[in-house]
Amino acid sequence: MDRTEVDTTIRTLLEPFNKKGVAISDGTSFTDDLEFDSLTVMDFVAAIEDEFDIIISMNQQAEIENYGQLVDAVVKLRG
């Protein structure tokens, strides 16, 4: 799966959590733009983890601030 495919899949997974319909770009911030609280983060991360069969630990999550970084992290974790 290349970056574009990962991006497409994550975009679909993000939809139910994007309550305000914020336009998503690589620079979209999860806290500032999407206003995710800790429970939303947990559910969203769980959805991604289940889809790609990976673990994104909280330590790794701390390094991920925006959408682009998330896609990159998932690509990397998929190996």
Partner 1 sequence: MTDLFSKFDDIIEMRRALLATGVEDPFNLVMERVLSPTVAVCNGRETILLGTYNYMGMTFDPDVIDAGKEALDLFGSGTTGSRVLNGTYIGHREVEDALKEFYAMEHAMVFSTGYQANLGIISTIAGKGDYIVLDIDSHASIWDGCKMGDAEVVPFRHNDMEAMEKRLKRIPEGAGKLVILEGVYSMLGDIAPLKEMIGIAKAHGAMVLVDEAHSMGFIGPNGRGVAEDQGVLDQVDFVIGTFSKSVGTVGGFCVSNHPKFEVMRLVCRPYVFTASLPPSVVATAATSIRKLMHAGNKRAHLWENSRTLHAGVKALGFTLGTDEPQSAIISVIMPDLERGAAMWEALLHEGLYVNLARPPATPANMTLLRCSLCAEHTEEQVERIIGMFERAGKAAGII
49 binds partner 1 (CB under 8 A): yes
C-alpha to C-alpha distance for 59 and 19, rounded to whole angstroms: 26
**How far does the chain reach from its first CA to its final CA, in angstroms?**
10
55 binds partner 1 (CB under 8 A): yes
Provide the minimum distance between the beta carbon of 54 and partner 1 in the complex, in angstroms, as a whole number: 7
- State which residue, 9 or 60, has the beta carbon closest to partner 1: 60
Q: Which of residues 5-44 bind partner 1 (CB under 8 A)?
A: 37-39, 42-43
Nearest to 70 by CA among 21, 19, 33: 33
